[in-house]
Each structure stands twice: as structure tokens, then as C-alpha cells.
Amino acid sequence: MENINKIIDKNFDEEVEFLQKIISFNTVYDFNNATDEYPFGKNISDCLDYVLERSEELGFITKNIDNMVGYSEIGDKDGDLYGILCHLDTVPYNNLDNWKAHPTSGAIIDNEIIGRGAIDNKGSVAATFYALKALIDAGVKFNKRFRFILGLDEESGFKCVNRYLNTEDIPKCSYAPDAKFPAVYGEKGILSLAIKRGFEAMPMEPVILLGMTAGEKVNIVPDKAVAYFGGKDIAKIYIQLEKFNRDYIKFDYFEDKMIKVEIEGKAVHAMNPETGVNAIQRLFGVLEKLDFAPKELNLWIKDMYQLFKYETDGKLLGINMTDEISTPLSLNFGMLRYDSENLQANFDIRYPVTINPEYAEETICNAMKKTGTAISILNHKIPLYVDKNSKFVKTLLGAYRSVTGDNREPIVIGGGTYARAFPNALSFGPIMPDDEDLAHQSNERISLLKLKTITKIYAKAIFDLNVIEKEIIKTTKIR
């Protein structure tokens, strides 16, 4: 591996430029401009085409599957197929004032590459691409087929991998470089649901809550929530708001006609909502102390505040599930929309890996009935739980330990990766065990040193998988 690591060092400036290039594509799912030809928007497809073109230059076999997913493959056509599962799409970026550089700039500041996707998941794409390039440059003979699968809809619903699984070869084993090191043998169940309710408009009332909005993705803790008030007596609300001596509340008074209330929070990934600050929960903490119409909505917000307050474990709802393997259940109040009559709120709930999915779904939905609204399940991804003593897991773990000297054991996470969509799969990196998870946050970034280390870990992992005689990984089906 010494020669391969030297090649990685030699190619590193080129790898950085490659990562900056793919960061420059705004690969947020473009709902407004999605077409039959470009189901997720043209920008995401352009990014895929760029990676596939670069792959062809290295001699990979490539395929773009309906601008939904693509792959680059190298190796013995008769060898076992191994998958490396990455994605090019990203979550939206907001609050540009909080960024040190534009999210699509790929700027290098303090030896870190800043940009949306730097960690989730374009950094892994660059590291994998240049790990494979180093092996090719070193003259390694590939005994297996390694297929670098690139999805375009990981953040919004996995339609990309579902398209792949419909028609393409299924890898014998796969790993997704989209989580944490040293290796991940379990991913919590993820239940996304929505609650909806209508409220009668009351245009003649003295103070009216006209609208609320917060959140762009249910899997991000919202960092901003906005409410609008109108009515002939809105000065009353202004006086009440002035009593809140908190730096996270801002409000504007527009010519005695409307008040805009803006609440700030801290965005983080929904798998660890306790590390962020939820702007919706803060907003409800303010609104429940105010008097406004519709009265029914006023009372509902007070009830919602009592059900959630600032908690992220579902304890107040009675759904704080735990087990001995993973972290406890987490709940993210991810999105809120109210337009003076209709309200919808979306939640991301992640439950421990050994909890029966049917039991979890029934228990959570029954608890959510306390909100007094119509409940609909948007998505349910059952837990992933694999045998951490399998040869496949130990091979990946060995690669990490060889490069870093860190002998920690594999872990269970709250995140959800492509690994749960493929048989015999788990997630593997790129975040180091002691590093802060910056995915979905302002100033998402990766250090140059970590990027190089990650590339060497993936090169070692692919090298070792290439020579392994027999791989066994057991996926535990939890029912």
C-alpha cells in the first residue's frame, strides 16, 4: 500500500480540484424544473455526466440510467460484483450570511474545503474516485468488479436506487461511504409522517395569525421559522413580543398592517436533533404565550407545545423507545406550513434498530393522534442491522485501522444510507469518530488532511476486498 499512498499524495491537488468542481454544481432536487428527461432537475444530471465522463477517461464502463442514477465500473467482468454507494444530490442551503463562502464555491479556508456536499456526499465521491484511480495507476489487477453507483435522489426519497434495483445487477456486497468510521453495522428505523388540519379563517378578528413557515427538508432541524400576524389590533402583539428578551427572536412592524416574527435556530442533521436548536419548537414556545385568532389554532399550538416543548426524544408523547444497541428514539419537527386556513407539519422520527417496525409505526402513529390532526405516513425505512463479526465488516474495519491506527469497534447510527436499500450492505465513513458531523449545516466542510486520509482508507478497503477469497455478511431482518 505504500506505493498506492504515494500516488494518492501525488494526485491530491487534482482530487481537490475534482471535489471543488462537483461542489460547484447546485445539486438540490429541483422540483420546479423536473421533467421526464431530468426527473430531479438538469443540474444534478449535469453533475452525474461530469463524473461519468471523468470515469470514462480512466477506462471505466459507465452508464447513465434515465438521469436518475449512474455508475462507473472497473474490474474482471467475470468477478463478483461489489458496490460502492454514493450520491450527488444535496440538501438545500439557506441563510447565506452564516456561510464563510458561497455553498457552491468549494472555497478553501483554513485548509478546509467549504461547500454543500463537502461531507454529504461529494467528499466521498472524490475520495472513492481517487482511491480507484490510485489503484489503477499502481497497476493493481482487479479480480472483482467494483461498481461505483451514483444516486441523484438520496436526500428526497431513494427513487434513484429504486430505479437501479429494477433493472441493474445487484452487488454481492456493498458499502455506502455516507456515515461514520470506523464502520457502521446498524442504522435506526426512519419514519417520516405528516399531520394536517384545517382552521376556519376569521378575517374580522382583532389579531389574526396569517401564516407560518419553517423548514425545507424533514431530515434537517430547521434553523428558521417565520410567523405573520395581521388585524386592527396587532399593536397588542407587538407589545407582547417586546417582553421576550431573547436574541433568537426578531420582529418587524409594517405600517400597522402586519407583524413578521422570525425565530432563529441551529440546523443539524435529523439523526442527531439534540445537537441543534429547532426553530419550530422555539416558535411554538413564543406563540403559546400570545393571544390571537383563530382561537382554535391558538389552543392547538398551546397543546402542541405541551406535547413537544424543546424535547427531541418523544418522551412527552410517550414514544421514547430504547434498546441496548443503538441510541434512543429521536424526533425532529422538520417542516411547518400554514396559510391562514390549512396547516401541515412534517416529522422525522428515528427509532432503535431492534424495535419491530410494525410496532414502532403503530405506537408512533397512535401517539401522534394526540395532536388532533389527520396523520399520513410519508415514508418508512426499516432498520438495518448486520453481523458485525462477518468477514466483510472485518475487512472494512481492518482497512480503517490499518490507515489510522484506531482500534475502535463498529457502531450503530441514526442516519439512513443507501446501505439499507441493498442486500449485504453497510455504511463506512467518511466522518471520523471524534469529528463533528457537519452534514446539512451551514459551512459544511472537510479538511484537506481528512480528505487525503479518507482516500487512503477507501483505497486500502478496495485493495483488500479485491483479494478476499470469500465474503460473508449477514443482514439481520428485524420483524
Q: Report the catalytic residues.
A: 89, 154
**CA–CA separation, 448 vs 454, rounded Å?**
10
Cβ contact 298:469 at 8 Å: no
- CB atoms < 10 A from the CB of 144, how many? 22
Q: Tell me how far CA of residue 357 lies from CA of 321, 325, 331, in angstroms.
A: 12, 16, 16
Cell readout for 426 is: 453497510
Q: Which three cell numbers stand for residue 82?
A: 461489489
Q: What is the dihedral of CA 70, 76, 81, 83, to 10 degrees?
A: -50
Q: Helix/strand/coil (H, E, C) string of the chain?
A: CHHHHHHHHHCHHHHHHHHHHHHHCCCECCHHHCCCCCCCCHHHHHHHHHHHHHHHHCCCEEEEECCCEEEEEEECCCCCEEEEEEECCECCCCCHHHCCCCCCCCCEECCEEECCCCCCCHHHHHHHHHHHHHHHHCCCCCCCEEEEEEECCCCCCCHHHHHHHHHCCCCCEEEECCEECCCEEEECEEEEEEEEEECCCCCCCCCEEEEEEECCCCCECCCEEEEEEECCCHHHHHHHHHCCCCCCEEEEEECCCEEEEEEECECCECCCHHHCECHHHHHHHHHCCCCCECHHHHHHHHHHHHHHCCCCCCHHHCCCCCCCCCCCCEEEEEEEEECCCEEEEEEEEEECCCCCHHHHHHHHHHHHHHHCCEEEEEEEECCEEECCCCHHHHHHHHHHHHHHCCCCCCEEECCCCHHHHCCCEEECCEECCCCCCCCCCCCCEEEHHHHHHHHHHHHHHHHHHHHCCCCCCCECCCC
Residue 9 grid coordinates: 499524495
Give every CB contact of residue 181 below 8 A, 6+ residues apart in sequence: 400, 404, 406, 428, 429, 430, 431, 432, 433, 457
